[in-house]
Structure 1
Amino acid sequence: MNKLRILALFTVFLAGCSKPSEQIMVATAANVQYVMKEIQQEFEKESGKKIEIVVASSGKLTTQIREGAPFDVFVSADTKYPEEIFKNGGSDREPEVYATGTLVLWSKDIPETDLNPEVLATGKVRKVAVPNPQTAPYGQAAVEALNALKLYEQTEKKLVYGESIAQTAQYITTGSAEAGFNALSIVLSPEMKGKGHYIIVDSSLYKPIQQAAILLKHSADSPKKASSEQFYQFLYSAKAKAIFKKYGYR
């Protein structure tokens, strides 16, 4: 998607919004989308300012930012992409870690007593849903865990990749895949809670999923500079931390 097309899409998106120049545009990794809904409510109530949230995988959002999408803040699922943006001049400030994520193995029908990584290599499971490891940090963590358990070669042909963690959740909850890897924050969300069974994957099997946010340079050149800064600081407030903790973030 070229730069002009992305800008056109956002122009159409903002056209239906009141006072679009005052709205804070927040690029949000899919695993954080439900948390961000609550943070959005709290921030708007406290500040009286409006936020628009755009959800996709961290990799896709980074591509959009690189091509000129008018985001003010980027809330990523890792540190790699925000650091890349900073090094390429997309921000005057280094990214900051706001939470550490937790990987889970999730299934619609396999009971919790039988749910473990080893079951993925058996005939009980034909498809394993995984977020695309090329663009989604939780997908990369899932592959690392499978390799650490020496299960990757046995399960490689069963892996079905979702474009984001949200699409992967859809594969799991609809039964399109018998099991899959996802973020604890997704399974604990009100929209997904109770849909199937899950176990937390041993965190020693993958690199810590440190998640960072970055205040983008776009906001520095707009009327929203002060509002964007205010929202960015709110992400690290005690109120926001309590919401992240509620969704299983460390």
Structure 2
Amino acid sequence: MKKTFLLLLLSLSAIAGEINIAVAANVSYAIDELKAVFAKHYPDTKVQVTLGSSGKLTAQIKNGAPYGLFMAANMKYPASLYADGIAVTKPVVYAQGALAYLSAKPMDFSKGIALVADKSVSKIAIANPKTAPYGTAAVEAMQKGGVYDAAKPKFVYAESISQTVTYALTAADVGFIAKSSLYSPKMAQYKENVNWASVDPALYTPIKQGVVLLKNAGKSAEYKAFYDFMLSDEAKAILRRYGYIVQ
């Protein structure tokens, strides 16, 4: 009886056209608009999104989480899934992200990366570099900028880049965030060169974000449709509005 009921639920889910996708936290600011535009083309497909750090989402996927598509914050994690046979398409870049500094209070961003070593900065929000590619990029920027040793004791670690934004505004003096978060309407009160500034891109490896279809997608036309949409001109236009670089 239980098996029959489960099969019924699965068949109803398939009819309903629901897809489950894993999305890197930095895309949380753009994903609602991406879903809305996709829905205009596929109104009967419901898109369920799970947000998180790319490392944690990868671990979930390797442990059997029921996602059919993964939008990562770099190419490393989807590449590992492809190597393991869990991803069925090679990682393709859908966007290139950028790092920024953010503070709730005015800061002298003309100092550049040296700002984080300043005595006036006692806490620095950073995404966990073990699981969040933007955290890795922030560490690289500080190392190349020669301020890592001075800055490390001040770190306040967040589990994802979206959580880092919250920490930067509430629990730290400044934080390293995804520039894309600054294009959210909720962030309009924070001004460039007053509350935030871009981190010199020469200080870190370009953050190329990759997308893959996973085995759980099976032969689903709906997963393939969302995958194709993410590489379309429509999706690229949305991502550009959120500060991403797209080809």
Superposition TM-score, scaled by structure 2 size: 0.89
Equivalent position to 1:194, from 189, 196, 200: 189
- In structure 1, runs of 5+ residues without a counterpart are 1-10
- For the residue of structure 2 that corresponds to 1:144, the secondary structure is helix
Q: Which amino acid aligns with 1:248?
A: G
Alignment of 1:23-172 (within 5 A): 23-48=18-43, 49-111=45-107, 116-172=112-168
Q: Which amino acid aligns with 1:167?
A: Q
Q: Which amino acid aligns with 1:98?
A: Y
Q: C-alpha separation between the residues in 2 aligned to 1:70 and 1:77?
A: 19
Q: C-alpha separation between the residues in 2 aligned to 1:120 and 1:186?
A: 20
- In structure 2, runs of 5+ residues without a counterpart are 1-5
| 1:248 aligned onto 2:243 | yes
Change (3 A) 1:183 1:139: same
Question: CA shift at 1:117, angstroms?
Answer: 2.0
RMSD over equivalenced CA pairs, Å: 2.1
Q: C-alpha separation between the residues in 2 aligned to 1:62 and 1:68?
A: 10
Q: C-alpha separation between the residues in 2 aligned to 1:23 and 1:54?
A: 13
Is residue 105–residue 116 contact of structure 1 (8 Å, CA) maintained in 2? no
CA displacement 1:124-145 (0-9 Å, x = unmatched): 1100000011001110000000
- For the residue of structure 2 that corresponds to 1:191, the secondary structure is helix
- For the residue of structure 1 that corresponds to 2:217, the secondary structure is helix
Q: C-alpha separation between the residues in 2 aligned to 1:30 and 1:147?
A: 24
Q: C-alpha separation between the residues in 1 aligned to 2:58 and 2:222?
A: 22
Question: CA shift at 1:192, angstroms?
Answer: 2.5
Q: C-alpha separation between the residues in 2 aligned to 1:113 and 1:120?
A: 10
CA displacement 1:157-204 (0-9 Å, x = unmatched): 001110101111111122x10001000101211233324611111111
Q: C-alpha separation between the residues in 1 aligned to 2:179 and 2:74?
A: 15
Superposition TM-score, scaled by structure 1 size: 0.88
Is residue 24–residue 50 contact of structure 1 (8 Å, CA) maintained in 2? yes
Question: CA shift at 1:122, angstroms?
Answer: 1.7
Q: C-alpha separation between the residues in 2 aligned to 1:53 and 1:113?
A: 35
- Name 2:173's counterpart in structure 1: 178
Relative to structure 2, which stretch is displaced further, 32-41 or 107-116?
A: 107-116
Change (3 A) 1:116 1:164: same
The number of aligned residues is 233
- Name 2:211's counterpart in structure 1: 213
Change (3 A) 1:140 1:18: same
- Quote the sequence identity (%): 40
Q: Which amino acid aligns with 1:219?
A: A
- For the residue of structure 1 that corresponds to 2:224, the secondary structure is helix
- For the residue of structure 2 that corresponds to 1:92, the secondary structure is coil
Is residue 110–residue 178 contact of structure 1 (8 Å, CA) maintained in 2? no
